[in-house]
Each structure stands twice: as structure tokens, then as C-alpha cells.
Structure 1
Amino acid sequence: MDVSVWRERGEPLVAGSGRGPLRGLRLAVKDVHAVAGHRIGAGNPARLAEAEPQPAHSWAVDALLRAGAEVTGIAQSDEFAYSLNGTNAHYGTPPNPAAPGRVPGGSSSGPAAAVALGEADAGLGSDTAGSIRVPASYCGLYGLRPTHGAVPVTGMLPLAPSFDTVAWLARDAQTLARVGEALLPFGPEPGRFRKALVATDLVALADAGVRAAFRVAAAELAERAGLRVEEVPTLAGDPVARAVAFATAQAGEVWQCDGAWVSAHPGTFGPGVEARFARAAAVSAESRIAAERVVHRTARTLRAALPDDTVLLLPATGGPAPLIDETPERKAATRDATVRLTCLASGAGLPCLVVPGMSTEGDGLPVGMAVIAGPGSDRTLLALALALT
């Protein structure tokens, strides 16, 4: 068992119901979901040591087990799910078979690596600021962050509740959709998208190799899906100010959720996460309120731009996966560029699908295409993913 990928593993760890549409599907569960009889460690040994076994499964784990899936194991997370790189100072960096020598992305790093390696069929994780979308992009996987609140987060360790969602990834669109059938609320038949927006200022946030790949991939996706592309110069205001506001609002909630535990356990985090918590501790009530106003204003603008028949296309990440031994400064720069993209769906509570297939010019590294839609369009996004296969 590779401990950088798995915290616990069984054959299976938890058996499924033995019946249902997901019968036999191998599930890697991120170490922020409750699995009955097991502890939640959230990627941190000190938290794991103090944790008590969970009395029941999280809502999402229970729903998937009842649908026939089996829990192959509990997969690693970036510490407290508060990172996007996929590195862990305690357990190591999970491999990225799609880009060897590079990070898998986080914080759902363990499930992403398990799925990419073929050791699981689907990964159940969480997504607050991109924790499913980033590893899906870096590892060449499909991923879905659903509409905020569409899937109950009961039994999932909170990070920033206003932005937390249950989320999942898979190697193929069919498996992604099958998991969605078990998790998403019943509703009308999926609709159809007819228009795709491309915002010039958003595409410009990615590096040159990604921008070139995106232009080709966006045109191909639109043609295959029968979408009319409309290019606009901007969509939701200044991307830097928007990302800073989102990070501030998120940090305020993070400290509210975890600050007491973090304060009582100094020195237990890796350097990147430790610094992030220190910044969260410094967010004043006034700064948080001002940031939330910006987030809410951006959310209204974005939702108004995305009626039922319209999607927004953008790169899922600002660049391909950084090298494992990349300098902290370079990793931070990549993360900042990526958050400027991922914070759109997070701040507006909108569903976002990541589809693989893009690769950067020259080195051929995988990068995902993100498709953001209006609230409640989760099943239509999954139908789009199926239509593209």
C-alpha cells in the first residue's frame, strides 16, 4: 500500500449493498468523509491520533454504498483540505501517472492518484476552492463540483461551509455520470446547452501553453456539442480583486471552523498549510465582511450571465501540474493563477465540470477544460460529458 495515496485500504475496506447500479464499483474516499468505524485524519497525523471512530458513514458514502459501490480504501488528503498542490509533508506526494514527476493536485490528491493509477474506479472527495477540479485537470480525469448544496455534506469535515461541496472524479464520463445518478437529487430530464461563453480576461489568466491548447479545445468542444461560441472581453470584474476577496472570505470561515484546533496544535502542519492558517488567523471581521460583499456581487453577475442554455468555458487550471521539486515560489504562483479561475464557480455556488483532453504545447502535459453552468444544471453537465465521448 502506497501511504502517499492510501491511509487505509481493504479488499474491500467496506462492502457495498451487493445490488444497485454501482455494484462492484471501487471507491476511493477522501480522508474528510466519515466511514463508519474509521477515523477522519484529514491528512494530518496529529488530528488522526486524537480522532474517534465515526459512528456512521457520511451521507455521500452511504448513498454510494447503497447503490452498490464498495469502499476500496480511505485516500489521503492535503492537510485539512487547505491546499491545491497535492503534497503532504507527513505522508508524501501521491504519484501522478499522467505527468510523472509532477504533483497530482489537491486537496483530493489521494482519490485522484488512486483513480489515475487504476486502483479505484471513482474518487469521492470535496471541493471548496478547486479540490476536485485541480487534480482532475493535472491527472487527466473527469471531475464534477456540483451546485452548492445539491449533495448533502453531512458527515464531511467542513473547511469553509459557504463554499464546501461533495465532489467526485473518474477516468471516464460514464463512471462520473453513474456516480452522479446516485448522489444528485432527482429532477427533470437534463436540458441542452446551446451557447458557450468564452471570456478573454479569464483565458488570459492561464499560461501561454494552456491558452493555445484552450483555443483549439474550446472550438472542438463547441462543434461536437453543437454550441454557439460567444466571446466576451470580461465577465465578472477584476480577476485579481475577485480572487483576493474569495480567499479572504474563505479564510475567515476556515479559521472559524478550525482555528481553535490549529491554535492548540502549533507546529503540526507542513509549511505551506501552516502559512495559510496563519493568514486565516489574521483576517479581521471587517475584512471578511468586505470580501463577502465582493463574492456575492460577483456571484450575482455570473449567475445572470448563465441562463439554462448557456455555459462558460475556461481552463480548469492556470497551467499544468508543477514539478514535485518546483520551488515554493513557483508553486504559489501556479496556485494563485489557478484560484483566479476556480473561485468563480466556488464563489457563485455553481456546478463545474472538468473534462480532460487538452495538453500543453511542446510538453504535452494534461490540462482540463472547465465548463461552468447555472445552478441546478448538474445533470445537464453530466449529459454534456457523455455526449463528448
Structure 2
Amino acid sequence: MNRILTKHFFEKQIFQDKRYPSWQQKKDLAIKIIEEFSQLEKTRINPDSPEESFFFWRQSGKEHGCHSGIIETRVENMRKDILPENRLFRRVRPKKIIVPETSNETAALLAALSATAQNAKYISDSMAECTEIHQWILNKKSENNTQEILEVFPHLLNYNGLLVLHIQQAYERIHTSYNTTADLKSFLSLAVLLDENCWLSVEDSNLKGLLIFKKKLGNRGVKRVADTNEQLSMEELLAWPLIRWMKSNGDPENVQVDIYKSNKTDPHILCIGEKQSRGNMYLIFYSYSISCGNSSLQAIEVFFKSFSVLGIPIPLQLKKIHDFLSIKLWKTLSSTISVTVQRLISKIIDYEQSLED
């Protein structure tokens, strides 16, 4: 019976839809079995366990650990029949990177070059030649990864308006599966269809779309991370881990931002101007800042791609929105353990298919 039911409910989901059943789905099936065959209540593991525990018991009654029950066992066995290339979670062996000797010489010359228009093409080409060095530093996963990368590639931090070009090129070199047809603006506009009455006071449509997606992915723990003396509205509080506004006090912006980043706050997008209005955008990565001008699209794209390019750990509050964009838009990530992200991706896919029909 267990084999028949798990096949009926989960086979298509696992093999065709390429989605693993959640613990809630497996628990619901176990409860249905007990409801239909009440005599099976006697199969419970022990007197204190749930009636359905023989079929599925979440974490075996503990706060942490693996699930148990014959439904869980059968689903695990079904996953083993999936071809390795189709599995959601694959153990990838780290590729050994060999750095050519000529790359070290090129990198040394590159770091010494000034960011001028005459050097633009040479710097771009040289950074491509030094990809192995970049990947080698990233694979080290040391606490000083970002500092080491910027010492070798200082032009990633700022390059007279060509910042997006260098971050984008480096991102594509790191992620060979990158979706080159990705349209960030069109993708963010889909968010308004999910909740057109949300974030009405945010002037920039791109930021509004990003915040709607962020809200749909959950806001657990937001109150704990909003460490500020300012009086924030609920919307500003929800936006705090991702986007913050700072009113200009008349000082030059670069001085103001330097003072702000000295606090070494968690990575986020900073907009100079009245709350929820348009303004010049800066990316704050602890003690580093990147100027993105008044382009919100540029700020959003560079912000999320910089985590990979600069080797910056992704804050917990941004993990879901980062995974969401990486999987659905840029296709540089194949899967996520977040059920919320999986559901939102499925919702967007269903909507896109309905448009095609």
C-alpha cells in the first residue's frame, strides 16, 4: 500500500516536475492513510508518538534531525532512481584550478593600471585572462576573500561608470550557465501582478517590484535586524535588510556615504533621498561601498551579483531573494532548500505558461 500511494502522489512530482515532496505533503498522506484505515493507528512507534508515526514522523519527534517512517523511506528510494544529472541536490566535487604563471604577471600589471578610457579595453581583456586567479581566490573561502580579490582586481570596486560591465563579465565567467537573455526590468514588473497594492509609496518601479518579491518570500526575523534609532514604518522595517533610505544633509554624498559605511552594517542598497523616493544608489558591503548613480536596475543587478564576484557571504535575510533571482532569472543556481522560494518560482512559471496559452 505504501509503495502504491507514494507512487500515485509523488512520482510525477519527483520525476517530471523535478520537485521533491515537502514534509507537510508526506505528513498529510500519512494522516489520510490513518483516517481511511483506522485500525492502522495501532502501528504507531510508541504510545507517545503521533498516530501516523509509522508512516511519517517529522524529525522523529525531535526539534532537529531526519524524518522517519515508511513514506519517508520510500521517497528516499525513489530519489535514488533519478538520473544524476536531474537531481536537485548533487554533491559537486571542487574542480582543481591551475593558475598559469603568465596570469600572475598579467594580474600584477592590471592592478597597477589607472582607470582611464584608454585602458578600458586592456583592463577588461586582462581580467578575462586572470579568471583562474579569481576562481582560485574564491575557492579558498577565507575570511579575507573580498580583500584579496579587490587587491588583485581593484577595478571591480569602481571604474568610472563601467562597474556594471566588469561585475557582469566576471559573473558570467564564474557562472557558465548564466542566462544571457535575462531581462531584469521585465522580471521585476511581474511582481506588481502578485500584489499591485503593495509598496505604493515607493517611487521607483524596479525597487517596488524587488520589495514585493522580498515580501512574498517572507519576513521572518526582520524586527531583530532593524537596529536603528529612527522611527520606521512597517514597510520601511520590512525593506530594511534589503533597501534603506538616507536623507541628504547637504554634505557631499561621497563623504556622507563614507561616514555611513564606517558602521560596517550588513550588505544592503542605500538610496540617498527622502524615504521611499528616487535618488543616487550606493551598495554597502560592510566597509566597502559601490556607487551606482541613479539607476535602480544597475544597483539591483550589481548588488546581487557582487556576492559571487567579490566572495561576500550572503546575509540570512537576503538568502531567499538571492536564490530566487539566481534560479528563476539568471539560472546560475539549480535549486534551493527553501520551500517558499520553490513555491514562488512555481507560481511565476504557471503565470508565464498561462500567458503563452
Same fold (TM over 0.5): no
Give the structure, 1 or 2, with the largest relative contact order (CA under 8 Å, sep 6 or more).
Answer: 1
Structure 1 or 2: more helix by fraction: 2
* Structure with the greater alpha carbon radius of gyration: 2
Structure 1 or 2: more strand by fraction: 1
Query: What TM-score do you get using the length of structure 2 for normalisation?
Result: 0.29
